[in-house]
Structure 1
Amino acid sequence: MLTGGSYVQYASILSVTHTTLSAGIPVITDTMRASVLVETGHVELQERPVPTPAPNDVLVEIAAVGVCGSDAHYYRHGKIGDHVVTAPIVLGHEASGRIVAVGAGVPESRIGERVSIEPQRPDPDSIESRRGDYNLCPHMEFYATPPIDGALAQYATIGSAFAHPVPDTVSDIAAALFEPLSVGIAAIGKAGVVAGGSVLIAGAGPIGLVCAQVARAYGATRIVLSDINSARLETALRFGATATVRPDDVGDLEPFDAFVDASGAPSAIVAGIGAVRPAGRVVLVGMGSDELTIPVSIVQNRELILTGVFRYANTWPTATALVTAGLVDLDALVTGRFALDEVADALDADRIEGSIKAVVLPQLVSDGHPASERRSS
């Protein structure tokens, strides 16, 4: 595992494989390395053909990939709800990189552009897409959702409109984490958080922490995070929370304008609903049980608005603005960096005490030493 330091420092202890430039034009090899989930609990490094960008697509040399809880769930269980892994698949949907080739209809001037990938391919003609809710498109092809391959490889293609340029002041790692930040933007937007408002957030994992940062950026003055893990609660105070609480004590607090669940824990959800003022909002983000018993009388009598968040739409411009302005810190969330042949370790990093976010750097391959033994200078 890579534990801090610059890209140059990482390269000093790892072998680097990437495209080369000839008169400013990338030279791309025919094959690439990809980390493939071949069966539940087993990933292997494979050599695969470099994908060719279709019309209106771009080919991205992947620089960084954040590891999401859904990646770990597919790795350990082989499915999430109705989405079942039935064939080898490349995981990873939080990604950034550099455009190295373009398909027909895309200006060649985009080659060399650093981008954050929005890992969605909606049908532009669906009713949902036409009304702007393209994240709800029933024909969506989403990175790392079976059977669609993700970004834990040296290259990936995406529609040109979903390869968002990022300024040089934003790191490759932060650009990859625009994806979970987008979940936070969507959630806080649904919660209706405004300047001077209040919000309770359950779950001090990566999504809860980005929700807190977004709420702070939007002007909320009371941002309380709940979690059962004391260390995570301490971390939350560094990422936007004005206070923290254990779920059992939520009922003792003054009511909130909104509640965002980023835990998926039934008890936390019930407690959070009970902590919302009349006419407030409840937003369910965390993945938990498919069914949940909720206090319907509270929802009815207080006329609460209860909704869910499924991915995001039209969030990348906001993500770019928040990070560029220094209102959200994504780099600080990263507690582990891994090479492409260490994906199994990255997928299990959430089991390490103090871990927040693991990131894989696909252009790097380890020097053969176990991740636990290697440290960057």
Structure 2
Amino acid sequence: MKAAVMNKPLEIEIKEIPIPTVKEDEVLVKVMAVGICGSDIHYYEHGKIGRYVVEKPIILGHECAGVVAQVGKKVSKFKIGDRVAIEPGITCGRCSYCKEGRYNLCPEVEFLATPPVDGAFVQYISHREDFLFPIPDNLSFEESALNEPFSVGIHACKRVNLQPGSTVAIMGMGPVGLTAIAAAKAFGASTIIVTDLEEKRLEAAKRMGATQTINIREEDPIQAVKQLTNDVGVDAAFETAGNPKALQAALSVVKRGGKLAIVGLPPQDEIGVNVPLIADNELDVYGVFRYSNTYTQGMDFISRGIADMRSLITDRYPLEKTMEAMEKARVNKKESIKVMVYPNGMP
């Protein structure tokens, strides 16, 4: 089969590699659509994210969906021809985190496209049965692949215990920020205020359900959010940009007793924050690492039309042009929102 292999940062080569063999509890999936994620771009550009370092050639891509091509002898939930969404992190199922239901914290997790684990820019991938989910008849492969970033927003909403009628601010309108709008909407938020510096992304935010948009090139986001909330602030703020200024702004717009979810990962390890502000206002700060137990709920939300996920897709490439697709996602943030790669032919 063909695979797009990153030999080193900023260099991807199409190679022929063996089709993976399927273990008894695994399914071989013919990969039909893969979304390019911000983490893929980080690895492609810098070769690392925090403690995860690319030390040998790796295959990127983890937002994916496809068709069952083969099943292991112990597989009972799927048959050849079934359409499936792939949850990319395979966990041990035995540790205390897995047993508590917080399997995203499993120390033995093998997550697609996180070094040293290869990802989904391939024609076929083998994956454990319990991390595959049936695609509803009314959903496309692309929409199902986008359940992965959508799951991050769902998990953030669960972390802050978002309630119906809440006011939310989301800083940064990359794909995770945009799908977080849909998640906040699904959880019943009545006011969803978003910020970004690209007008195209703010327009996309309105389509996803944002009630107010703030272009930070033109307005101070803190003052604008305060004005929109009668100087009270929001019940919860999500920082999804991985930007120090966005994090500080998110912290500043949370109301007294409110909540901050840190979703985006900044390039540096340490960022200055106003600790007296956190203590004096008794703010709750939540780290958000991927997600757990979100995939079924996410597929249900998307299939019920909570948001138009397809509208986020701006660029489409065949597997042979994966490097071109990565470059487009890396350098064209003004125009591109979600870039999709199709390992087995364009739709």
Same fold (TM over 0.5): yes
The separation in 2 between residues aligned to 1:346 and 1:46, in whole angstroms, is 17
Matched, 1:294 2:273: yes
Aligned length: 335
The separation in 2 between residues aligned to 1:285 and 1:329, in whole angstroms, is 22
Matched, 1:111 2:90: no
Task: Quote the residue 2:312 is aligned against.
Answer: 333
Matched, 1:274 2:252: yes
Amino acid in the other structure paired with 1:278: R
Task: Quote the residue 1:250 is aligned against.
Answer: 222
Task: Quote the residue 1:229 is aligned against.
Answer: 198
The separation in 1 between residues aligned to 2:184 and 2:328, in whole angstroms, is 27
Using the size of structure 1 for normalisation, the TM-score is: 0.86
Which secondary structure state, in structure 2, belongs to the residue aligned with residue 300 of structure 1?
helix
Amino acid in the other structure paired with 1:178: N
Question: Following superposition, which runs of at least 4 residues in structure 1 exceed 4 angstroms of deviation?
Answer: none
Unaligned runs of 5+ in 1: 1-31, 366-375
Amino acid in the other structure paired with 1:250: I
Which secondary structure state, in structure 2, belongs to the residue aligned with residue 207 of structure 1?
helix
Task: Quote the residue 2:150 is aligned against.
Answer: 181
When structure 1 is superposed on structure 2, of 120-129 and 233-242 the one drifting more is 233-242
The separation in 2 between residues aligned to 1:166 and 1:354, in whole angstroms, is 29
CA contact (8 A) 1:129 1:137 kept: yes
Task: Quote the residue 1:355 is aligned against.
Answer: 336
Task: Quote the residue 2:38 is aligned against.
Answer: 69
Amino acid in the other structure paired with 2:64: A
The separation in 2 between residues aligned to 1:335 and 1:245, in whole angstroms, is 22
**Among candidates 61, 68, 84, match of residue 99 of structure 1:** 68
Task: Quote the residue 2:19 is aligned against.
Answer: 50
**Among candidates 247, 258, 262, match of residue 284 of structure 1:** 262
Report deviation, 1:229.
Answer: 2.4
CA contact (8 A) 2:36 2:341 kept: yes
Note the 1:125-204 alignment, pairs <5 A.
Answer: 125-204=94-173
Using the size of structure 2 for normalisation, the TM-score is: 0.93
Report deviation, 1:231.
Answer: 3.2
1:12-69 deviation digits (Å, cap 9, x = unpaired): xxxxxxxxxxxxxxxxxxxx11110111111111111100111211110000000001
The separation in 1 between residues aligned to 2:169 and 2:98, in whole angstroms, is 31
CA contact (8 A) 1:34 1:48 kept: yes
Note the 1:306-345 alignment, pairs <5 A.
Answer: 306-345=285-324
Amino acid in the other structure paired with 2:222: V
Report deviation, 1:109.
Answer: 5.2
When structure 1 is superposed on structure 2, of 259-268 and 239-248 the one drifting more is 239-248
1:113-167 deviation digits (Å, cap 9, x = unpaired): 1000001111111111111111100111100011101010000011101011111
Cα 1:109–1:71 shift into 2, 3 Å: closer
Matched, 1:212 2:181: yes
The separation in 1 between residues aligned to 2:342 and 2:56, in whole angstroms, is 24
The separation in 2 between residues aligned to 1:291 and 1:104, in whole angstroms, is 48
Report deviation, 1:235.
Answer: 2.6
How much is the aligned-residue C-alpha RMSD, in angstroms?
Answer: 1.5
1:273-294 deviation digits (Å, cap 9, x = unpaired): 1111121110000111311111
Amino acid in the other structure paired with 2:238: V
1:81-137 deviation digits (Å, cap 9, x = unpaired): 111111111100000001111113113852211000001111111111111111100
The separation in 1 between residues aligned to 2:118 and 2:270, in whole angstroms, is 29
Which secondary structure state, in structure 2, belongs to the residue aligned with residue 100 of structure 1?
strand
When structure 1 is superposed on structure 2, of 174-183 and 241-250 the one drifting more is 241-250
1:191-233 deviation digits (Å, cap 9, x = unpaired): 3222211000000111111111111122211100011223322
The separation in 2 between residues aligned to 1:292 and 1:108, in whole angstroms, is 46
The separation in 2 between residues aligned to 1:133 and 1:169, in whole angstroms, is 30
**Which of structures 1 and 2 has the bigger CA Rg?**
1
Unaligned runs of 5+ in 2: none
Task: Quote the residue 1:262 is aligned against.
Answer: 240
The separation in 1 between residues aligned to 2:102 and 2:73, in whole angstroms, is 27
Cα 1:52–1:196 shift into 2, 3 Å: same
Note the 1:9-88 alignment, pairs <5 A.
Answer: 32-88=1-57
Which secondary structure state, in structure 2, belongs to the residue aligned with residue 269 of structure 1?
helix
The separation in 1 between residues aligned to 2:338 and 2:41, in whole angstroms, is 12
The separation in 2 between residues aligned to 1:50 and 1:283, in whole angstroms, is 40
